[in-house]
Amino acid sequence: MIKETISIINQFALLEMKLKKDNTDESIQRIIHRIKLEWQGIGYEYSLPIGEKYNDTRTDVVANIVGEIGEDMRITQIVKPVIYHNHIIVQQGIVMVEANKN
């Protein structure tokens, strides 16, 4: 059952990212929030660390570096979210990282 739950969370997280890009209305955001609360009720949470600073000491994600390595590396895309069960990582996130151009 854990494998199936993680698979569903992965698909849901991708859907949430897509809907955020498309600036969905508030009612859809409320539904997403309610579903996330239900998962929290059974011990599951996930993180979409887009825009967060990346360094090679992070243990919650596996990174693919795009372009040149720089001082200020940021997560720019998420392939898979970080998934926690009872506050323990059960899936590392898979992310794309780029040097911050600002």
This prediction's pTM:
0.89
From the DSSP assignment, how many helices (H) and strands (E) are in the chain?
A: 2, 7
For the chain, what percent of residues have pLDDT higher than 90?
75
> Inter-axis angle of helices 26-41 and 2-21, to 10 degrees?
160
Is residue 67 left, alpha or beta, with left meaning phi > 0 and alpha meaning psi from -120 to 50? left
18-22, 52-56, 64-68, 79-83: least confidently modelled range: 18-22
Q: Which two tokens stand for residue 70?
A: 């720089």
Domain of residue 38: give its range: 2-99
Can you give the pLDDT at residue 102?
66
Secondary structure of residue 19 in the 3-state scheme: helix
pLDDT digits (tens, 9 = 90+) for 23-68: 768 888 899 999 999 999 999 999 999 999 999 899 999 999 998 8
Beta strands in 7-92 (DSSP E): 44-47, 53-54, 61-65, 73-80, 82-85, 88-91
- When divided into structural domains, the chain yields a total of 1
Place of tokens 């698979």: 7
Closest C-alpha to 69, from 49, 90, 88, 97: 97
